[in-house]
């Protein structure tokens, strides 16, 4: 892509190199540790499912046992495979025997490591084949109907009831939506387990469960065939169960997942050591399953100022890119986030928003950037709100954003009605149609506001990344450099679920998935 901003490409490379070194330094920590949810994700991918009579998910039953008897460092794959050799049970049978109190994995005699790997290999292969089939199904759908050029119109449903969500999602798809995001119920990111089955009660959203994923995927495929378009499904794998929910998404063919390296630390007070380890495996899974990840830089601007702190958004985008590459993801799957969140009372705010968006597009040319609508300065005045959303839509079409989360004129009033979504879609379609090629017609003058703003932000982001490289990621977060939020390295939720790996530990799914995409 031709640079309209005259960006200093040496600074871009310097920033990217600093981010890469931060990610490499952090990867040393990741490679030495595992967590309870990483091991639960391994359990799920080995076929362990369901709940016990107390409604505790069976992956939790098994991993809680590993933690209690002191063998979690060996990992789920090794301990399950070892127990399979000793008992003749399959992975589900091992979990059920533990639940009945009939099996203590710390007392099972150790078998040969090669035999342990061989025991779990058929279950690994079956899951890989299932994910391959899912990705092939998506590819067949896109081959039959083609894919949309330009921005995907991305809307949310958030009723709390999966069946009502399906009704609203189908309506949105018929109105023109390309991506349906099912918002999670408030607080699910802080649950250290994944609820089971279809759910009909949630607050501000609907529980992310594998059955809910299956039901919505089925519904969107149905309406997609009616409409002659592939409708993408999005959910959230942030929080204390990042890799588990990524695994569920891979098993049920989700297409987009919220997945940020830092979001849970900054905005949910989840321990940084836990999150950094969890995000890695979740991204390995998402990468293999062909999922586009959405990162959460837009959230920085809800707690910090979008004019003065824009460089922290860019710095985080570089870091999220580097961490995603460390997990083997392709740039085409990195929905790096940013947002239209400047105070509308600020002079030339739109001009600076345009500069920020164009800068992101030029620095990350292959990434399907996720652009978020105005929310912080929505007032409840629906007429002004509709205009703010229209300006946001204009920036998207002028700068070539890809995942365009539609603003709602009733933001700050209530969860959107179906009619609100229809108006938002109509607004975006009108602007995208009438301004389709306007971006390619425009150039930005040398030494003008737009060019100067973009290069100022890039310079500050590069300086910040050099500082982060010197400090290390954990110290950077402790200092509150991102989103003006400070978190201690040994504080927050979930630290007791982090352990140093034993030499016997192995994760067959990282070995099979990293750096690859299913069905390709």
Order of all β-strands in the sheet with 179-182: 334-335, 292-294, 256-258, 232-236, 179-182, 152-157, 403-405, 370-372, 337-339
In the prediction, which pLDDT does 111 show? 98
Residue 455: φ, ψ to 5°:
-70, -30
Q: What share of the chain is helix, strand, coil (3-state, %, to 5)?
A: 55, 10, 35
Q: Is the pLDDT of residue 261 over 90?
A: no
Contact in structure between 359 and 461 (CB atoms under 8 Å): no
Contact in structure between 324 and 334 (CB atoms under 8 Å): yes
The rounded Cα 288 to chain-centroid distance in angstroms is 14
Query: Could you read off the pLDDT of 75-110 as tens digits, one per residue?
Result: 999 999 999 999 999 999 999 999 999 999 999 999
| Gap between the Cα atoms of 462 and 16, Å rounded | 8
Question: What tokens does 354 get?
Answer: 């345009």
Containing 179, the helix (H) or strand (E) segment is: strand 179-182
In the prediction, which pLDDT does 300 show? 84
Residue 155: φ, ψ to 5°:
-125, 165
Q: Is the pLDDT of residue 171 over 60?
A: yes
Question: What tokens does 178 get?
Answer: 């390309």
Residue of 303, 354, 362, 302 whose CA lies nearest to 336: 362
Q: Is the pLDDT of residue 423 over 80?
A: yes
In the prediction, which pLDDT does 483 show? 81
Q: Is the pLDDT of residue 39 over 90?
A: yes
Active-site positions?
A: 263, 298, 370
Average pLDDT of the segment spanning 413-437: 95
> What percent of the chain shows pLDDT beyond 70?
99
Q: Is the pLDDT of residue 1 over 60?
A: no
User: 10: buried, middle or exposed (CB in 10 Å: 19+, 13-18, 0-12)?
Assistant: exposed
Kindly state the DSSP code that residue 183 receives in the 8-state scheme: P
Residue of 55, 58, 60, 188 whose CA lies nearest to 497: 60
Question: What tokens does 187 get?
Answer: 């607080």
HEC per residue, 280-340? HHHHHHHHHCCCEEECCHHHHHHHCCCCCCHHHHHHHHHHHHHHHHHCCCCHHHEECEEEC
Query: Could you read off the pLDDT of 285-307 as tens digits, one per residue?
Result: 999 999 999 998 888 888 888 99
Q: Is the pLDDT of residue 13 over 90?
A: yes
Average pLDDT, rounded, for the chain: 96
In the prediction, which pLDDT does 520 show? 64
């Amino acid at each position: 892509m031709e640079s309209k901003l005259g960006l200093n490409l040496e600074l871009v490379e310097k920033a990217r190199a600093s981010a890469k070194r931060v990610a490499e330094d952090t990867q040393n920590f990741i490679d030495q540790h595992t967590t309870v949810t990483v091991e639960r994700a391994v359990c799920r991918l080995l076929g362990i499912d369901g709940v016990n009579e107390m409604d505790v998910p069976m992956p939790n039953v098994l991993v809680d046992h590993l933690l209690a008897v002191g063998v979690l460092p060996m990992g789920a794959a090794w301990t399950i495979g070892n127990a399979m050799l000793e008992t003749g049970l399959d992975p589900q049978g091992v979990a059920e025997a533990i639940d009945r109190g009939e099996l203590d994995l710390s007392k099972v005699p150790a078998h040969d490591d090669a035999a342990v790997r061989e025991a779990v290999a058929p279950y690994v292969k079956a899951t890989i084949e299932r994910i391959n089939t899912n990705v092939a199904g998506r590819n067949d759908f896109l081959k039959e109907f083609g894919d949309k050029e330009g921005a995907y119109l991305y809307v949310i449903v958030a009723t709390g009831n999966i069946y009502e969500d399906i009704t609203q999602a189908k309506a949105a798809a018929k109105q023109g939506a390309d991506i349906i995001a099912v918002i999670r119920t408030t607080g699910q990111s802080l649950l250290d387990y994944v609820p089971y089955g279809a759910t009909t009660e949630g607050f501000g959203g609907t529980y992310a469960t594998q059955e809910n994923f299956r039901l919505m995927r089925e519904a969107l495929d149905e309406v997609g065939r009616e409409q002659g378009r592939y409708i993408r499904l999005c959910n959230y794998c942030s929080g204390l169960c990042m890799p588990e929910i990524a695994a569920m998404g891979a098993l049920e063919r989700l297409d987009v997942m919220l997945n940020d390296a830092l979001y849970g630390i900054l905005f949910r007070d989840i321990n940084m050591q836990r999150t950094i380890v969890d995000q890695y495996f979740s991204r390995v899974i998402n990468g293999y399953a062909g999922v586009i990840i959405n990162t959460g830089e837009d959230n920085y601007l809800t707690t910090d100022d979008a004019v003065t702190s824009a460089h922290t958004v860019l710095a985080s985008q570089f870091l999220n890119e580097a961490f995603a590459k460390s997990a083997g993801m392709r740039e085409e799957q990195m929905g790096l986030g940013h947002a239209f969140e400047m105070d509308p009372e600020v002079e030339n705010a739109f001009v600076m928003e345009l500069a920020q968006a164009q800068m992101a597009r030029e620095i990350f040319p292959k990434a399907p950037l996720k652009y978020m609508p105005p929310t912080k300065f929505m007032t409840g005045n629906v007429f002004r709100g509709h205009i703010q959303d229209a300006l946001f839509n204009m920036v998207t079409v002028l700068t070539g954003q890809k995942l365009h989360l539609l603003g709602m004129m009733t933001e700050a009033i209530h969860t959107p009605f179906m009619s609100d979504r229809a108006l938002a879609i109509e607004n975006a379609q009108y602007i995208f149609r009438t301004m389709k090629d306007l971006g390619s017609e425009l150039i930005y003058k040398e030494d003008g506001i737009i060019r100067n703003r973009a290069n100022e932000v890039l310079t500050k982001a590069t300086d910040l990344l050099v500082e982060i490289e010197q400090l290390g990621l954990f110290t950077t977060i402790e200092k509150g450099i991102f989103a003006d939020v400070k978190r201690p390295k040994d504080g927050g939720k979930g630290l007791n679920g982090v352990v140093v790996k034993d030499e016997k530990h192995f994760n067959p799914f990282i070995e099979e998935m990293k750096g690859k995409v299913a069905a390709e």
